Structure 1
C-alpha cells in the first residue's frame, strides 16, 4: 500500500520561516517552521490523507498502524530547517537509555517532565543529508592540539585588545583541557561561574574582528553568541569540529557524539526516540553528570558518512546501526531497483518520481509524501525529479 500522508511543521524558535515551505511548495505559516516530521512517532505523527482528496486529518499514522496490527515505524524522517543553532546535545546507547529510563521511572519522574532525560528505552542515532549548499554543524571533538591552538589565539587577541583578565581566563581554560582532559574542561565550563570571563573574552574577540584568530572560528562564536549570548556552550563549541556539508553529503551522529546543527536545510533520519542529553546552548534542562557519562570524550574524525550508488539515480546511506536507511533519488533510471526490506516513507522534492511496488505504484510531486507498507518492497523507481526514501 502507498498511503498518502502529510504533517504540519513544528514551530521551534530556531526554525526558518520560509525554507520548508519553499522546498515543498507550501504556503508559509508566518511562524518558525523548524522540522516536518514524517512517521508514526506519537509526539507528532503524520496525518493520513484521503487517497482521492485533501486530508481530513481524521486519523494519524500511528493510529492507522495500530488498527491494522502493524508495528510502529522504528525510524522518523524529518525535513529540518535551521536559521539559528540548536542546543549542544548527545544521545545515549541502548544500554544507557534502558538504564536511564528505569532509573527515572523508579524515581517517579513523569515522562513529560521538563527535567526528564530518558523518555523511552531506545538509542537515538541520527543521519542528516544536506539539501542546500552550506549546511553547517558542530560534531565531535576535534584534535586537542588544534583546539588548544585556537583557544590560545583568542587569548592572545584578547590580551592585545586590552582584556588581560579575559586572556588569563582563556589560558586557565586551556590548562583544564591540557592537564585534565576534555570531560573535566566541559564540566568546568558548565558549572563554574568563572568561565563567564572566558566566554565573554572569546565573544569580544570574535565581534572585534580577526586579530590573528581564524575567521571561521570567529564566525562560529558569533553565530552561537547571537543566539545564546554568553552561554558556556559558546566556549564548548570551540572544542568541536565545524562541518560544512554540500548538497547530498551526510553526517552520521552515533551515540556519544556531542553536536549542534548551526544552520541550513537537510533531510534527517533517526531512530524514533526522544532521548536527548543537553550540554549547553539551551534554556532547557542540562544534567552535567549525565552528559559526562553519555558523551564520548576522545577526539574523532569528522563523521561524514558516504552514500553508495546502488542503481542509476539512487544513492543509499546505510549507517552502522540497525533500524533505518536513507535513499536519495535524483532522476532515477527506468527500472532502478531499491532493494530494501521496508516499510518506508517517501517524500517528493521536485516533480516527479514514480515508485512501483509489488501491488501498487505512486508518482510523487513536490511536497507529497507516502507511507509504503512492507509488502510493497522491493521498489522500482523512475522519473525526472528528486525524492527521498526512508526505510526500516
Structure 2
C-alpha cells in the first residue's frame, strides 16, 4: 500500500475552482479540468518514493493481480479521474475493442504518426467510461426518440429550413442521415442552426413549457462557447440528463455523449481513442464518427450504487477494464473488495484511514493510495471515497 499523487490536466473547458478545492491547493487562474490517477503513459501518477506508477508496475507486474494480467497483460487497464467542467466537452463517441484494433492497425499502415493531430486511434484499446457526480452534473448521452425531438423543436416555432434538415427523421436510418447532413458544415445548415439558437433565446424569455425550455437552454448555452457550430443541432437530438451527487451514467462503445458541466469522478479504460463530432477546436472526422456511433435512440438514466456490504456500494456496469465502488465510512470497519486485484483508493470527503497488516495510511480529501493485489485492506473513518479496480476478477462484490 503506497500513497499516490495524480497529474492535473489544464484543458480549457475545466473549472478553475473545484479540483484545487478538493486537492487542498490554491487556484492559480488556470482551468483544472481533470486530475488523473493511474498509469497512463501520458501522465502517470507518482508513488510516495517518487517512482511513477507505470514504471513501478513494469518492475512489479504481480501487483496488478493474476486475473488482470491474464486479460490485459502487464498494464493497468483503467484510469481514474476527478473531472470538473465549467464549459461543454466535445460531442464524441469511442470505439469497441475490435474497431480500435482495426483502426489502430490501419492508421499505422497508412503512416499517420501518433503525434499527428489528425490521428484518431492512438492505441488499440476501447474506451468505455463512467462518470459519478460529486455535484449536480449535466450531460448529453445517446439520442432520444426522433418523434420526441421533433415535438420539442416544433415548440420553438416555425423556423426557416429546419423541417427540410430534419425530414429524414421519420425514416429507419433517419438519425444517421440528419447527423451526417448537420455535421457536413454546409452554410445552409449553419444558417438553420443560427435560427434555432435565436428562437431558443426568444423562447427562454417568453416560453413556458419546461421541456422546450430545457432544449432551448441547451442551444443557448452551447452557442455561447461555440457560436455557429452546426453540432449544436445534433446536441438537441440527444438526451440531456442531470445527475444528482452519487448518480452515475456509463457509456459503452458508440454512444454519443458530451459532458456539459459539473464535477464528478470518472473511470474509463486506459485509452486515448476519441471520435469527435463537434463543440471542439480539435480534429473532427465526421465519417469516422458516423462509422462508429450508435445512430438509434438510447435511454440515459442516472443510477446510484447498489450496496454490496456495509458502507460499500458497487456501480453496475459490465466492462472488463474497470469496476468502481463507492465507500461511506461509519463507526465500523469497512473491508475493501477485490483483494486479488491492484486497486486505487480515492477520498473525496472527510478522512479515511486504510489499514493493511501493521501499516496505516491516513487519507484526507483529495488524497489517494495504490493497493496492490493480494493485500487485504480495511478502512476506518467517517469520510467518503471511491475504490477502482479492473472488472475481470471472480469477486463480483
The TM-score normalised by the length of structure 2 is: 0.90
- For 1:304-363, what per-residue CA distance to the aligned partner results, in whole angstroms no more than 9, with x for missing partners? 344111122211113111121111112245232232132111112233212234674422
Question: Does the C-alpha gap of structure 1 residues 327 and 268 become closer, same or farther in structure 2, counting only changes over 3 Å?
Answer: same
Structure 1 Cα separation of the partners of residues 280 and 83 of structure 2: 18
Number of residue pairs aligned between Structure 1 and Structure 2: 372
**Mapped partners of 2:174, 2:60: distance in 1:** 52
The answer to whether the Cα contact below 8 Å between 1:358 and 1:375 also exists between their aligned partners in 2 is no
2:154 to 136, 152, 155: 152
Q: CA deviation at 1:223?
A: 1.3
SS of the residue aligned with 2:155? helix
Residue 107 (structure 2) pairs with residue 104 (structure 1): yes
Contact 2:241-2:301 within 8 A present in 1 as well: no
Q: Kindly indicate whether residue 140 of structure 2 is the aligned counterpart of residue 138 of structure 1.
A: yes
- Partners in 1 of 2:308 and 2:353 — Cα distance? 17
1:381 positional shift: 2.5
Aligned to 2:18: 19
Question: Structure 2 residue aligned with 1:77, among 76, 80, 85?
Answer: 80
Cα distance between partner residues in 2 of 1:359 and 1:174:
65
Determine if contact 2:256/2:294 at 8 Å carries over to the other structure: yes
Name the structure 2 match of 1:328.
Answer: 326
Root mean square deviation, CA, Å: 1.6
Q: 1:232 to 1:131 in 2, by over 3 A?
A: same
**Cα distance in structure 2, aligned partners of 1:8 and 1:103:** 31
Conservation of the 8 A alpha-carbon contact between 1:256 and 1:296 = yes
Ranges in structure 1 where 5+ consecutive residues have no aligned partner: 51-57, 160-166
| TM-aligned CA distance change 1:375 to 1:176, over 3 Å | same
Q: What is the CA–CA distance in structure 2 between the aligned matches of 1:328 and 1:60, rounded to whole Å?
A: 26
Q: How does 1:338-357 map to 2 (within 5 A)?
A: 338-340=336-338, 341-357=340-356
* Shift of residue 68, structure 1, vs aligned partner: 2.6
- Structure 1 residue aligned with 2:270: 272
- Deviation, structure 1 residue 303: 4.4
> Residues of 2 paired with 1:258 and 1:356: CA distance?
41
Q: 1:200 aligns with which of 185, 194, 201?
A: 194
Which consecutive unaligned segments of at least 5 residues does structure 2 have?
Answer: 63-73, 391-397
- Residue in 1 that maps onto 2:71: none
- Please give the alpha-carbon distance, in whole angstroms, between the structure 1 residues aligned to 2:19 and 2:302: 24
Cα offsets for 1:159-209 (capped at 9, x unmatched): 4xxxxxxx1211112213224510110000011332111110111112223
Contact 2:7–2:44 under 8 Å retained in 1:
no
What SS class does the counterpart of residue 217 from structure 1 fall into? Answer: helix
Residues 256 and 294 of structure 1 are in contact (CA less than 8 Å); yes or no, is this contact kept in structure 2?
A: yes
Post-superposition Cα deviations, 1:243-289, rounded to whole Å, max 9, x if no partner, equal 00000000011111100000000000000000000011111111111
Distance in 1 separating the partners of 2:378 and 2:5: 23
CA distance in 2, matches of 1:104, 1:147: 37
The superposition leaves residues 67-100 of structure 1 with CA deviations (integer Å, 9 ceiling, x where unpaired) of 2345231100000000000000000110000000
Distance 1:333 1:98, change over 3 A: farther
Mean CA deviation greater in 273-282 or 307-316: 307-316
1:300 counterpart = 2:298: yes
Aligned residue in 2 for 1:176: 168
Determine if contact 1:313/1:329 at 8 Å carries over to the other structure: yes
Cα distance in 2 for residues equivalent to 1:254 and 1:361: 37
* Conservation of the 8 A alpha-carbon contact between 2:100 and 2:121: yes
Change (3 A) 1:359 1:251: farther
Residue 94 (str. 1) matches residue 97 (str. 2): yes
**Residue number among 189, 196, 199 corresponding to 2:182 in the alignment:** 189
| Match among 227, 230, 255 for residue 229 of structure 1 | 227
Given the two structures, how large is their TM-score scaled by the length of structure 1? 0.91
Could you report, residue by residue, the CA deviation over 1:1-44 in whole angstroms, capped at 9, with x for unpaired residues?
x1112133110000000110112322223200000000000011
Change (3 A) 1:208 1:227: same
Moved more, 350-359 or 259-268: 350-359
